[in-house]
Amino acid sequence: MKVSKHFLVTGGAGFLGSHLCEKLLDQGHEVLCVDNFYTGQKDNIIKLMDNPYFETMRHDITFPLYVETDNIFNLACPASPIHYQFDPVQTTKTSVHGAINMLGLAKRVKAKIFQASTSEVYGDPECHPQPEGYWGNVNPVGLRACYDEGKRCAETLFFDYHRQHGLKIKVARIFNTYGPKMALNDGRVVSNFIIQSLQNQPITIYGDGSQTRSFCYVDDLIDAFIKTMESADEFTGPVNLGNPKEFSIRELAETIIDMTGSSSKLEFKPLPENDPCQRRPDISLARDVLKWEPSTPLEQGLKPTIAYFDKILSNR
Ligand code: NAD
Ligand code: UDP
Ligand code: UDP
């Protein structure tokens, strides 16, 4: 008989969390999804709810949580700049108090714990592409700091619980990821551009569109999550997870306009404060230790993502 494990996924109703819950259930594991539904949605997990091995709990991880589990994926945190800046104090609390609670839980039940960290720990990087050894360039008092510094402090807590209490930790620095199940109002660039293109609305480019990002398709990233969790106990990370192919925001807009056959025009808006100029992961460590690299080129991943938004918009 297959031995299944129990997983707690915080932020399990969000974009990445819901894909992860589905994958873990497919692998025959039991999953407890904990979410306060701040940016997550029931629609993302509705089709999992008939599965007797799936449980969901409305809970805010800034408060203590007493449950039993073998493995924790800590994903709870709004990820889109408009959402994490809406209530910045809550964002920092989620990253910091949330991490303390989940680490306290992991310590009590002796669970392995994974932290969804971010490329934002590198801030507006002066080193390109970014390897894990780069310490970053973050403005600690800017509008993005609630997220960037919150996630940096969470990494500190993970490594101190590891050193001080011997916890088994995995810290993954995730670079921009996209795919189906992103919320319509998510506000991040891929979903904004697709929705605008499908509606033939102006494409809102912040700044001149020369800033770069590297976009990873969600299925590739979830494979990397599983490989990271399954890696040897000595491997703690931090490990960069993302697609190393870099695009300017303007190129992304043009690709999406082409693929949707849209008549949208580009509309240039002011660049938000501290918006990083360039971002591309150095994934040598993931290639080497996890034997992982993404396999989905941008246009291939955009196809199902465009189809997903097209369906949602037509059902409205
Ligand atoms: P998302 O906003 O879709 O999902 C976050 C989930 O966390 C939501 O379901 C939300 O309701 C929940 N949540 C927020 N605060 C909570 C709290 N205090 N208690 C319980 N639940 C809470 O975002 P996502 O893209 O799925 O991101 C998931 C994780 O991955 C986040 O930690 C994010 O920082 C990290 N990450 C994502 C990306 C990306 O490109 N998607 C990049 C870097 C890091
Ligand atoms: N905690 C939790 N669930 C548990 C165990 C602990 O939410 O199963 C929280 C608890 O609120 C505590 C935090 O995790 O404040 C940190 O726990 P730890 O044992 O590290 O510290 P302490 O209890 O000494 O503050
Ligand atoms: N961006 C944009 N138009 C939008 C949304 C975002 O030009 O409608 C830009 C944003 O300024 C940033 C990049 O696209 O330079 C990626 O933004 P996103 O919010 O997706 O994630 P970030 O990597 O900044 O956290």
CATH number at residue 75: 3.40.50.720
Q: Which domain holds residue 178?
A: 6-247+257-315
Residue 81 lies in a domain: yes
131: CA distance to ligand 2 center in Å? Answer: 33
- Amino acid letter at 91? T
Q: Would residue 64 count as lying in a domain?
A: yes
Please tell me the distance between residue 66's alpha carbon and the centre of ligand 2 in angstroms: 9
Half-sphere exposure of 25 (CA within 13 A, CB side): 21
Residue 109: which region, alpha, beta or left (left: phi > 0; alpha: psi -120 to 50)?
Answer: alpha
Tell me whether residue 45 is in a domain: yes
- The answer to whether 260 and 198 are in contact (CB under 8 A) is yes
Which residues does ligand 1 sit against, CB inside 6 Å?
Answer: 10-11, 13-17, 35-40, 60-62, 75-79, 94, 98, 116, 118, 174, 176-177
Q: Going from the first residue of the chain to its last (316 residues), give the mean pLDDT of each consecutive group of 10, the final group possibly shorter.
A: 85 98 98 98 97 98 98 98 97 98 98 98 96 98 98 98 98 98 96 98 98 98 98 98 98 98 98 94 98 98 98 93
Residue 240: other Cβ atoms inside 10 A: 26
Considering the domain boundaries, does residue 13 fall inside one?
A: yes
In whole angstroms, how large is the CA radius of gyration of the chain?
19
Do 282 and 245 touch, CB atoms closer than 8 A? no
162 is written with which tokens? 């590891």
Q: What is the pLDDT of residue 3?
A: 66
Q: Which residues are catalytic?
A: 147
Instruction: Give the pLDDT confidence score for residue 2 in this predicted structure.
Output: 61
Q: What is the pLDDT of residue 60?
A: 98
pLDDT for residue 316: 84
Structural domain includes residue 305: yes
> Is there a domain that residue 1 lies in?
no
Any atom of ligand 3 within 6 Å of the Cβ of 213: yes
Beta bridge partners of 204: 267
Domain count across the chain: 1
Counting from 1 in the atom list of ligand 3, the atom nearest the Cα of 211 is 15
Can you tell me the distance from the alpha carbon of 82 to that of 77, in angstroms, rounded to the nearest whole number? 13
Residue nearest to atom 6 of ligand 3 (CA): 189
Which tokens is 201 given?
Answer: 């609305």
